[in-house]
Structure 1
Amino acid sequence: MKCIAIDDEPLALELLKTYISGYPELNLLQTFDDAFEGADYLKNNAIDLLFIDINMPDISGIELVTALDKKPLIIFTTAYKKFAHQGFELEAIDYLLKPITPERFQKAVSRATQQYHFQNLEKPVVWEPFIVRSEYKMIKIEPAQVEYIEAMQDYIKIFLKGVTHPVLTLMSLKIILEKLPQEGFSRVHRSFIVADSQVKSILNKKIRMITGKEIPISDSYLDFIDRWKSH
Protein backbone atom coordinates (compact mmCIF):
# COMPACT_ATOMS: atom_id res chain seq x y z
CA MET A 1 0.00 0.00 0.00
CA LYS A 2 1.32 3.43 -0.93
CA CYS A 3 1.13 5.70 2.11
CA ILE A 4 2.16 9.10 3.48
CA ALA A 5 2.30 10.52 7.00
CA ILE A 6 1.36 14.04 8.10
CA ASP A 7 2.24 15.28 11.59
CA ASP A 8 3.58 18.62 12.80
CA GLU A 9 5.72 16.89 15.44
CA PRO A 10 9.09 15.73 13.99
CA LEU A 11 9.56 13.07 16.67
CA ALA A 12 6.10 11.62 15.94
CA LEU A 13 6.95 11.49 12.23
CA GLU A 14 10.22 9.70 12.92
CA LEU A 15 8.42 7.12 15.03
CA LEU A 16 5.88 6.52 12.25
CA LYS A 17 8.69 6.15 9.71
CA THR A 18 10.38 3.59 11.95
CA TYR A 19 7.19 1.61 12.46
CA ILE A 20 6.21 1.73 8.78
CA SER A 21 9.67 0.53 7.66
CA GLY A 22 9.00 -2.73 9.48
CA TYR A 23 6.04 -3.61 7.25
CA PRO A 24 6.88 -4.73 3.68
CA GLU A 25 3.24 -4.23 2.68
CA LEU A 26 3.61 -0.48 3.35
CA ASN A 27 5.43 1.80 0.92
CA LEU A 28 6.04 5.18 2.55
CA LEU A 29 6.21 7.77 -0.24
CA GLN A 30 6.51 10.99 1.76
CA THR A 31 6.23 12.52 5.21
CA PHE A 32 5.05 16.06 5.93
CA ASP A 33 5.34 18.23 9.04
CA ASP A 34 3.27 20.90 7.28
CA ALA A 35 -0.40 20.02 6.79
CA PHE A 36 -0.86 22.29 3.78
CA GLU A 37 2.08 20.70 1.97
CA GLY A 38 0.60 17.32 2.72
CA ALA A 39 -2.79 18.44 1.40
CA ASP A 40 -1.22 19.68 -1.85
CA TYR A 41 0.52 16.34 -2.28
CA LEU A 42 -2.76 14.49 -1.80
CA LYS A 43 -4.46 16.61 -4.46
CA ASN A 44 -1.91 15.53 -7.08
CA ASN A 45 -0.99 11.99 -6.04
CA ALA A 46 -2.99 8.84 -5.47
CA ILE A 47 -2.19 6.96 -2.27
CA ASP A 48 -3.78 4.02 -0.49
CA LEU A 49 -3.26 4.88 3.17
CA LEU A 50 -2.86 8.14 5.10
CA PHE A 51 -1.44 8.45 8.61
CA ILE A 52 -2.43 11.89 9.88
CA ASP A 53 -2.32 13.76 13.17
CA ILE A 54 -5.54 15.47 14.20
CA ASN A 55 -4.35 18.37 16.35
CA MET A 56 -2.14 20.52 14.06
CA PRO A 57 -1.76 24.31 13.71
CA ASP A 58 -3.60 26.12 10.90
CA ILE A 59 -5.70 23.11 9.87
CA SER A 60 -6.67 19.97 11.77
CA GLY A 61 -6.37 16.48 10.39
CA ILE A 62 -10.16 16.21 10.53
CA GLU A 63 -10.57 19.32 8.36
CA LEU A 64 -7.92 18.17 5.91
CA VAL A 65 -9.49 14.74 5.43
CA THR A 66 -13.00 16.20 5.16
CA ALA A 67 -11.83 18.45 2.30
CA LEU A 68 -10.41 15.57 0.24
CA ASP A 69 -12.42 14.70 -2.87
CA LYS A 70 -11.11 11.15 -2.96
CA LYS A 71 -10.22 9.74 0.43
CA PRO A 72 -7.64 7.00 0.94
CA LEU A 73 -7.79 4.70 3.93
CA ILE A 74 -7.26 6.85 7.03
CA ILE A 75 -5.45 6.16 10.29
CA PHE A 76 -5.66 9.13 12.65
CA THR A 77 -2.99 9.76 15.27
CA THR A 78 -3.43 12.14 18.20
CA ALA A 79 -2.63 12.78 21.84
CA TYR A 80 -6.26 13.62 22.62
CA LYS A 81 -9.02 11.08 23.14
CA LYS A 82 -11.74 13.67 22.61
CA PHE A 83 -11.23 13.60 18.83
CA ALA A 84 -11.95 9.88 18.49
CA HIS A 85 -15.65 10.29 17.69
CA GLN A 86 -14.95 12.77 14.86
CA GLY A 87 -12.32 10.47 13.46
CA PHE A 88 -14.63 7.49 13.23
CA GLU A 89 -17.38 9.64 11.70
CA LEU A 90 -15.04 9.99 8.72
CA GLU A 91 -14.89 6.20 8.51
CA ALA A 92 -11.27 6.07 9.57
CA ILE A 93 -9.71 2.63 9.70
CA ASP A 94 -8.26 3.31 13.14
CA TYR A 95 -7.50 5.95 15.73
CA LEU A 96 -4.08 5.71 17.39
CA LEU A 97 -3.55 7.48 20.68
CA LYS A 98 -0.05 8.79 21.30
CA PRO A 99 2.35 7.51 22.44
CA ILE A 100 1.76 4.76 19.89
CA THR A 101 2.98 1.32 20.89
CA PRO A 102 4.28 -1.21 18.33
CA GLU A 103 1.46 -3.60 19.23
CA ARG A 104 -1.23 -0.98 18.68
CA PHE A 105 0.37 0.11 15.41
CA GLN A 106 0.43 -3.48 14.19
CA LYS A 107 -3.29 -3.82 14.89
CA ALA A 108 -4.04 -0.67 12.88
CA VAL A 109 -1.94 -1.83 9.92
CA SER A 110 -3.68 -5.21 10.01
CA ARG A 111 -7.08 -3.49 9.79
CA ALA A 112 -5.92 -1.29 6.92
CA THR A 113 -4.47 -4.26 5.04
CA GLN A 114 -7.69 -6.25 5.36
CA GLN A 115 -9.77 -3.30 4.15
CA TYR A 116 -7.37 -2.64 1.25
CA HIS A 117 -7.57 -6.25 0.06
CA PHE A 118 -11.35 -6.22 0.39
CA GLN A 119 -11.65 -3.06 -1.71
CA ASN A 120 -9.33 -4.42 -4.39
CA LEU A 121 -10.79 -7.88 -4.77
CA GLU A 122 -11.43 -8.70 -8.39
CA LYS A 123 -15.13 -8.51 -8.99
CA PRO A 124 -16.49 -11.62 -10.72
CA VAL A 125 -17.44 -11.06 -14.34
CA VAL A 126 -21.19 -11.26 -14.81
CA TRP A 127 -22.24 -12.00 -18.38
CA GLU A 128 -25.82 -11.51 -19.45
CA PRO A 129 -27.44 -14.47 -21.24
CA PHE A 130 -28.84 -14.00 -24.73
CA ILE A 131 -31.61 -15.69 -26.70
CA VAL A 132 -31.36 -17.53 -30.03
CA ARG A 133 -34.02 -19.32 -32.05
CA SER A 134 -33.27 -22.97 -32.79
CA GLU A 135 -35.57 -25.71 -34.10
CA TYR A 136 -38.68 -23.56 -33.58
CA LYS A 137 -37.70 -22.87 -29.95
CA MET A 138 -36.22 -19.92 -28.09
CA ILE A 139 -33.06 -21.02 -26.30
CA LYS A 140 -31.25 -19.03 -23.63
CA ILE A 141 -27.46 -19.16 -23.99
CA GLU A 142 -25.16 -18.43 -21.07
CA PRO A 143 -21.91 -16.93 -22.48
CA ALA A 144 -19.85 -18.69 -19.79
CA GLN A 145 -21.01 -22.03 -21.24
CA VAL A 146 -19.87 -21.28 -24.80
CA GLU A 147 -16.76 -23.15 -25.96
CA TYR A 148 -16.63 -22.05 -29.59
CA ILE A 149 -18.91 -21.11 -32.48
CA GLU A 150 -18.67 -22.35 -36.06
CA ALA A 151 -20.26 -20.77 -39.13
CA MET A 152 -21.98 -22.92 -41.78
CA GLN A 153 -23.25 -20.80 -44.67
CA ASP A 154 -26.20 -18.83 -43.24
CA TYR A 155 -26.20 -20.75 -39.95
CA ILE A 156 -23.95 -20.98 -36.94
CA LYS A 157 -23.34 -23.85 -34.54
CA ILE A 158 -22.85 -22.85 -30.91
CA PHE A 159 -20.85 -25.48 -29.04
CA LEU A 160 -21.50 -25.47 -25.30
CA LYS A 161 -19.30 -26.99 -22.60
CA GLY A 162 -20.45 -30.43 -21.58
CA VAL A 163 -23.17 -30.58 -24.25
CA THR A 164 -22.87 -33.17 -27.04
CA HIS A 165 -24.93 -31.45 -29.73
CA PRO A 166 -24.41 -27.79 -30.70
CA VAL A 167 -27.20 -25.25 -30.90
CA LEU A 168 -27.94 -24.54 -34.57
CA THR A 169 -29.39 -21.13 -35.37
CA LEU A 170 -29.88 -18.88 -38.39
CA MET A 171 -27.39 -16.11 -37.68
CA SER A 172 -24.03 -14.74 -38.83
CA LEU A 173 -20.80 -14.67 -36.82
CA LYS A 174 -20.92 -10.88 -36.97
CA ILE A 175 -24.33 -10.79 -35.26
CA ILE A 176 -23.43 -13.37 -32.61
CA LEU A 177 -20.28 -11.37 -31.78
CA GLU A 178 -22.53 -8.42 -30.97
CA LYS A 179 -24.45 -10.60 -28.51
CA LEU A 180 -21.33 -11.98 -26.82
CA PRO A 181 -19.38 -10.01 -24.17
CA GLN A 182 -16.66 -7.85 -25.73
CA GLU A 183 -14.05 -9.36 -23.41
CA GLY A 184 -13.59 -13.11 -23.42
CA PHE A 185 -14.46 -14.08 -26.99
CA SER A 186 -12.40 -13.74 -30.17
CA ARG A 187 -12.94 -14.30 -33.86
CA VAL A 188 -9.98 -16.30 -35.11
CA HIS A 189 -11.17 -17.31 -38.58
CA ARG A 190 -13.93 -16.36 -40.99
CA SER A 191 -15.74 -19.46 -39.73
CA PHE A 192 -14.83 -19.57 -36.02
CA ILE A 193 -15.21 -17.67 -32.76
CA VAL A 194 -13.57 -19.09 -29.62
CA ALA A 195 -14.00 -18.50 -25.91
CA ASP A 196 -10.52 -17.32 -24.88
CA SER A 197 -10.67 -19.23 -21.59
CA GLN A 198 -11.24 -22.52 -23.45
CA VAL A 199 -8.05 -22.27 -25.51
CA LYS A 200 -5.47 -24.74 -24.18
CA SER A 201 -2.60 -24.18 -26.62
CA ILE A 202 -1.64 -22.72 -30.00
CA LEU A 203 0.80 -24.29 -32.45
CA ASN A 204 1.44 -23.53 -36.13
CA LYS A 205 -1.62 -21.31 -36.45
CA LYS A 206 -3.84 -23.97 -34.93
CA ILE A 207 -5.75 -23.66 -31.69
CA ARG A 208 -6.26 -26.68 -29.49
CA MET A 209 -9.25 -26.25 -27.23
CA ILE A 210 -9.43 -27.77 -23.74
CA THR A 211 -11.76 -30.44 -25.17
CA GLY A 212 -9.19 -31.36 -27.83
CA LYS A 213 -10.96 -29.69 -30.74
CA GLU A 214 -8.55 -28.07 -33.22
CA ILE A 215 -9.48 -24.73 -34.80
CA PRO A 216 -7.47 -22.88 -37.47
CA ILE A 217 -6.33 -19.27 -37.16
CA SER A 218 -6.48 -17.36 -40.42
CA ASP A 219 -3.85 -14.77 -41.36
CA SER A 220 -6.35 -11.95 -40.81
CA TYR A 221 -6.66 -12.85 -37.12
CA LEU A 222 -3.06 -13.65 -36.15
CA ASP A 223 -3.12 -10.83 -33.58
CA PHE A 224 -5.22 -13.17 -31.45
CA ILE A 225 -2.06 -15.16 -30.65
CA ASP A 226 -0.36 -12.18 -28.98
CA ARG A 227 -3.52 -11.20 -27.10
CA TRP A 228 -4.01 -14.75 -25.85
CA LYS A 229 -0.39 -15.03 -24.68
CA SER A 230 -0.62 -11.76 -22.75
CA HIS A 231 -3.58 -12.94 -20.65
Structure 2
Amino acid sequence: MRLRCIAVDDEPLALSLIQSYIMANENLELVQVFEDAIAASEYLNHTSVDLLFLDINMPDITGINLYKSLIQKPMVIFTTAYKNFAFEGFELNAVDYLLKPIEYLRFKKAINKTIDFYQYQQTNQKEVVEQSIFVHSEYRLVKIDLKDILYIESLEDYVKIHIQNSKMILSLMPLKRLLEKLPEDKFKRIHRSYVVPVSKVKSILNRKAELLNGEILPISNTYASFIEDWQQLQS
Protein backbone atom coordinates (compact mmCIF):
# COMPACT_ATOMS: atom_id res chain seq x y z
CA MET A 1 0.00 0.00 0.00
CA ARG A 2 1.27 3.46 -0.93
CA LEU A 3 -0.41 6.75 -0.08
CA ARG A 4 -0.41 9.37 -2.84
CA CYS A 5 0.66 12.65 -1.29
CA ILE A 6 1.70 16.21 -2.04
CA ALA A 7 3.65 18.73 0.05
CA VAL A 8 3.00 22.47 0.25
CA ASP A 9 5.47 24.89 1.87
CA ASP A 10 6.66 28.35 0.82
CA GLU A 11 10.11 27.70 2.37
CA PRO A 12 12.30 25.84 -0.16
CA LEU A 13 14.53 24.22 2.48
CA ALA A 14 11.57 22.96 4.52
CA LEU A 15 9.88 21.69 1.38
CA SER A 16 13.06 19.93 0.28
CA LEU A 17 13.34 18.21 3.67
CA ILE A 18 9.73 16.97 3.57
CA GLN A 19 10.26 15.80 0.00
CA SER A 20 13.32 13.77 1.01
CA TYR A 21 11.44 12.21 3.92
CA ILE A 22 8.51 11.25 1.69
CA MET A 23 10.81 9.70 -0.92
CA ALA A 24 12.59 7.69 1.78
CA ASN A 25 9.34 6.14 2.99
CA GLU A 26 8.12 3.10 1.03
CA ASN A 27 4.51 3.70 2.07
CA LEU A 28 4.36 7.11 0.40
CA GLU A 29 4.25 8.18 -3.24
CA LEU A 30 5.12 11.82 -3.87
CA VAL A 31 2.82 13.19 -6.55
CA GLN A 32 3.73 16.88 -6.50
CA VAL A 33 5.30 19.65 -4.39
CA PHE A 34 4.30 23.32 -4.26
CA GLU A 35 5.88 26.49 -2.92
CA ASP A 36 2.84 28.46 -4.10
CA ALA A 37 -0.23 27.84 -1.93
CA ILE A 38 -2.67 29.18 -4.54
CA ALA A 39 -1.31 26.82 -7.19
CA ALA A 40 -1.56 23.95 -4.70
CA SER A 41 -5.20 24.81 -3.99
CA GLU A 42 -6.08 24.80 -7.69
CA TYR A 43 -4.29 21.49 -8.18
CA LEU A 44 -6.04 19.84 -5.22
CA ASN A 45 -9.47 20.88 -6.45
CA HIS A 46 -8.85 18.89 -9.65
CA THR A 47 -6.67 16.03 -8.42
CA SER A 48 -7.34 13.40 -5.78
CA VAL A 49 -4.61 12.50 -3.28
CA ASP A 50 -4.59 10.52 -0.04
CA LEU A 51 -2.39 12.72 2.12
CA LEU A 52 -1.43 16.37 2.25
CA PHE A 53 1.61 17.81 4.02
CA LEU A 54 0.64 21.43 4.52
CA ASP A 55 2.57 24.33 6.01
CA ILE A 56 0.32 26.57 8.10
CA ASN A 57 2.08 29.93 7.94
CA MET A 58 2.23 30.96 4.26
CA PRO A 59 1.96 34.48 2.79
CA ASP A 60 -0.81 34.24 0.17
CA ILE A 61 -3.17 31.98 2.08
CA THR A 62 -2.66 30.11 5.34
CA GLY A 63 -2.57 26.34 5.29
CA ILE A 64 -5.64 26.38 7.52
CA ASN A 65 -7.67 28.43 5.03
CA LEU A 66 -6.35 26.45 2.09
CA TYR A 67 -7.52 23.20 3.65
CA LYS A 68 -10.91 24.69 4.56
CA SER A 69 -11.40 25.75 0.92
CA LEU A 70 -10.91 22.26 -0.51
CA ILE A 71 -13.99 20.51 -1.85
CA GLN A 72 -12.50 17.06 -1.31
CA LYS A 73 -10.38 16.97 1.83
CA PRO A 74 -7.60 14.36 1.96
CA MET A 75 -5.95 13.37 5.22
CA VAL A 76 -3.70 16.22 6.33
CA ILE A 77 -0.53 16.57 8.37
CA PHE A 78 0.14 20.21 9.16
CA THR A 79 3.69 21.49 9.44
CA THR A 80 4.50 24.65 11.37
CA ALA A 81 7.25 26.51 13.17
CA TYR A 82 4.72 27.93 15.65
CA LYS A 83 3.09 25.89 18.41
CA ASN A 84 0.17 28.31 18.72
CA PHE A 85 -1.18 27.20 15.31
CA ALA A 86 -1.69 23.63 16.49
CA PHE A 87 -5.17 24.18 17.91
CA GLU A 88 -6.51 25.39 14.56
CA GLY A 89 -5.18 22.24 12.93
CA PHE A 90 -6.83 20.17 15.63
CA GLU A 91 -10.21 21.73 14.85
CA LEU A 92 -9.85 20.53 11.25
CA ASN A 93 -9.28 16.93 12.35
CA ALA A 94 -5.67 16.81 11.22
CA VAL A 95 -4.05 13.40 11.54
CA ASP A 96 -1.03 15.08 13.11
CA TYR A 97 1.04 18.22 13.13
CA LEU A 98 4.82 18.40 12.86
CA LEU A 99 6.79 21.15 14.51
CA LYS A 100 9.75 22.48 12.52
CA PRO A 101 12.58 21.60 12.34
CA ILE A 102 11.10 18.17 11.64
CA GLU A 103 13.10 15.10 12.65
CA TYR A 104 12.75 11.95 10.56
CA LEU A 105 11.77 9.71 13.49
CA ARG A 106 8.93 12.10 14.37
CA PHE A 107 7.92 12.17 10.69
CA LYS A 108 7.89 8.37 10.54
CA LYS A 109 5.74 8.17 13.66
CA ALA A 110 3.19 10.48 12.04
CA ILE A 111 3.16 8.33 8.89
CA ASN A 112 2.61 5.12 10.85
CA LYS A 113 -0.37 6.76 12.54
CA THR A 114 -1.67 7.95 9.18
CA ILE A 115 -1.46 4.45 7.71
CA ASP A 116 -3.38 3.04 10.68
CA PHE A 117 -6.08 5.65 10.21
CA TYR A 118 -6.25 5.08 6.45
CA GLN A 119 -6.70 1.34 6.97
CA TYR A 120 -9.34 2.06 9.59
CA GLN A 121 -11.26 4.17 7.08
CA GLN A 122 -10.95 1.64 4.27
CA THR A 123 -11.91 -1.45 6.27
CA ASN A 124 -15.48 -2.36 7.10
CA GLN A 125 -16.26 -0.03 10.00
CA LYS A 126 -18.32 -2.56 11.94
CA GLU A 127 -15.42 -5.00 11.97
CA VAL A 128 -12.85 -2.39 12.92
CA VAL A 129 -14.84 -0.78 15.69
CA GLU A 130 -14.82 -4.09 17.56
CA GLN A 131 -11.11 -3.54 18.15
CA SER A 132 -10.23 0.14 18.20
CA ILE A 133 -11.34 3.72 17.63
CA PHE A 134 -9.58 6.97 16.71
CA VAL A 135 -10.08 10.24 18.59
CA HIS A 136 -8.33 13.60 18.55
CA SER A 137 -6.37 14.50 21.66
CA GLU A 138 -3.66 17.10 22.24
CA TYR A 139 -3.94 18.17 18.59
CA ARG A 140 -3.20 14.65 17.32
CA LEU A 141 -5.14 11.63 16.20
CA VAL A 142 -4.91 8.86 18.80
CA LYS A 143 -5.71 5.19 18.33
CA ILE A 144 -7.37 3.53 21.33
CA ASP A 145 -7.82 -0.21 21.72
CA LEU A 146 -11.30 -0.84 23.09
CA LYS A 147 -10.08 -3.57 25.42
CA ASP A 148 -7.98 -0.96 27.27
CA ILE A 149 -10.83 1.43 28.08
CA LEU A 150 -11.77 1.41 31.78
CA TYR A 151 -14.58 3.96 31.52
CA ILE A 152 -15.50 7.21 29.78
CA GLU A 153 -16.40 10.44 31.55
CA SER A 154 -18.25 13.40 30.06
CA LEU A 155 -17.16 16.98 30.81
CA GLU A 156 -19.57 19.16 28.80
CA ASP A 157 -17.92 19.45 25.36
CA TYR A 158 -15.08 17.09 26.26
CA VAL A 159 -14.74 13.43 27.13
CA LYS A 160 -12.17 11.84 29.40
CA ILE A 161 -11.27 8.33 28.28
CA HIS A 162 -9.72 6.47 31.18
CA ILE A 163 -7.24 3.88 29.91
CA GLN A 164 -5.90 0.81 31.64
CA ASN A 165 -2.22 1.17 32.64
CA SER A 166 -1.94 4.48 30.80
CA LYS A 167 -2.72 8.16 31.16
CA MET A 168 -6.22 9.47 30.62
CA ILE A 169 -7.05 10.77 27.12
CA LEU A 170 -8.97 14.05 26.82
CA SER A 171 -10.83 14.69 23.57
CA LEU A 172 -12.97 17.57 22.36
CA MET A 173 -16.24 15.87 21.46
CA PRO A 174 -19.62 15.30 23.13
CA LEU A 175 -20.22 11.95 24.77
CA LYS A 176 -23.07 11.21 22.37
CA ARG A 177 -20.73 11.40 19.37
CA LEU A 178 -18.18 9.13 21.00
CA LEU A 179 -20.91 6.59 21.75
CA GLU A 180 -21.63 6.41 18.03
CA LYS A 181 -18.11 5.07 17.53
CA LEU A 182 -18.47 2.32 20.13
CA PRO A 183 -20.16 -1.11 19.81
CA GLU A 184 -23.43 -0.61 21.68
CA ASP A 185 -23.51 -4.16 23.05
CA LYS A 186 -20.15 -3.69 24.80
CA PHE A 187 -20.36 -0.12 26.09
CA LYS A 188 -23.30 1.14 28.13
CA ARG A 189 -24.23 4.51 29.53
CA ILE A 190 -24.96 4.35 33.27
CA HIS A 191 -25.18 8.07 33.99
CA ARG A 192 -25.32 11.31 32.02
CA SER A 193 -21.60 11.61 32.75
CA TYR A 194 -20.40 8.00 32.50
CA VAL A 195 -20.10 5.16 30.01
CA VAL A 196 -18.63 1.81 31.01
CA PRO A 197 -17.46 -1.28 29.16
CA VAL A 198 -19.81 -4.01 30.36
CA SER A 199 -16.88 -6.42 30.76
CA LYS A 200 -15.15 -4.04 33.21
CA VAL A 201 -18.03 -4.00 35.71
CA LYS A 202 -17.16 -6.22 38.67
CA SER A 203 -20.24 -5.71 40.84
CA ILE A 204 -23.27 -3.47 41.41
CA LEU A 205 -24.55 -2.38 44.81
CA ASN A 206 -26.89 0.44 45.82
CA ARG A 207 -26.99 1.97 42.36
CA LYS A 208 -23.21 2.02 42.15
CA ALA A 209 -21.02 0.08 39.73
CA GLU A 210 -17.65 -1.18 40.93
CA LEU A 211 -15.17 -1.63 38.11
CA LEU A 212 -12.38 -4.20 37.93
CA ASN A 213 -9.82 -1.54 38.85
CA GLY A 214 -11.73 -0.62 42.03
CA GLU A 215 -13.27 2.59 40.66
CA ILE A 216 -16.88 3.15 41.79
CA LEU A 217 -19.29 5.03 39.53
CA PRO A 218 -22.93 6.07 40.12
CA ILE A 219 -25.85 4.63 38.16
CA SER A 220 -28.59 7.21 37.68
CA ASN A 221 -32.34 6.57 37.61
CA THR A 222 -32.42 7.27 33.88
CA TYR A 223 -30.08 4.36 33.18
CA ALA A 224 -31.19 2.04 35.99
CA SER A 225 -32.17 -0.61 33.41
CA PHE A 226 -28.43 -1.29 33.06
CA ILE A 227 -28.53 -3.08 36.42
CA GLU A 228 -30.98 -5.72 35.21
CA ASP A 229 -29.21 -6.08 31.87
CA TRP A 230 -25.88 -6.59 33.62
CA GLN A 231 -27.36 -9.16 36.03
CA GLN A 232 -28.78 -11.18 33.14
CA LEU A 233 -25.35 -11.28 31.52
CA GLN A 234 -23.85 -12.69 34.73
CA SER A 235 -26.33 -15.56 34.99
**TM-score (norm: length of structure 1):** 0.53
**Where in structure 2 are the equivalents of 1:39-118 lying within 5 Å?**
39-118=41-120
**Where in structure 2 are the equivalents of 1:186-201 lying within 5 Å?**
none
Q: Which secondary structure does the structure 2 equivalent of 1:95 belong to?
A: strand
Deviations 1:11-31 (A, max 9, x none): 011100111111111000000
Q: Which secondary structure does the structure 2 equivalent of 1:24 belong to?
A: coil
**Where in structure 2 are the equivalents of 1:143-154 lying within 5 Å?**
none
Deviations 1:87-128 (A, max 9, x none): 010000001000000111011101111111111114689xxx
Corresponding residue to 2:25 among 23, 36, 51: 23
Alpha-carbon distance in structure 2 between the residues aligned to 1:111 and 1:88: 15
Q: Which secondary structure does the structure 2 equivalent of 1:55 belong to?
A: coil
Alpha-carbon distance in structure 2 between the residues aligned to 1:33 and 1:19: 17
Alpha-carbon distance in structure 1 between the residues aligned to 2:126 and 2:97: 33
* Sequence identity percentage: 52
- Structure number with bigger Rg: 1
Structure 2 letter corresponding to 1:55: N
Gaps of 5+ in 2: 128-235
Alpha-carbon distance in structure 2 between the residues aligned to 1:72 and 1:44: 13
RMSD: 1.4
Deviations 1:158-207 (A, max 9, x none): xxxxxxxxxxxxxxxxxxxxxxxxxxxxxxxxxxxxxxxxxxxxxxxxxx
Deviations 1:132-164 (A, max 9, x none): xxxxxxxxxxxxxxxxxxxxxxxxxxxxxxxxx
> How many matched pairs?
125
Q: Which secondary structure does the structure 2 equivalent of 1:44 belong to?
A: coil
Structure 2 letter corresponding to 1:102: Y
**Where in structure 2 are the equivalents of 1:147-166 lying within 5 Å?**
none
Structure 1 letter corresponding to 2:116: Q
Corresponding residue to 1:8 among 7, 10, 16: 10
Kindly state the Cα deviation for residue 49 of structure 1 after the two structures are TM-superposed: 0.2
Structure 2 letter corresponding to 1:86: E
Structure-2 change in CA distance of 1:23 and 1:57 (3 Å): same
Specify the alignment match of 2:174 in structure 1.
Answer: none
Kindly state the Cα deviation for residue 70 of structure 1 after the two structures are TM-superposed: 1.5
Alpha-carbon distance in structure 2 between the residues aligned to 1:124 and 1:12: 40
Q: Which aligned segments of 4 or more residues in structure 1 are displaced greater than 3 angstroms?
A: 122-125
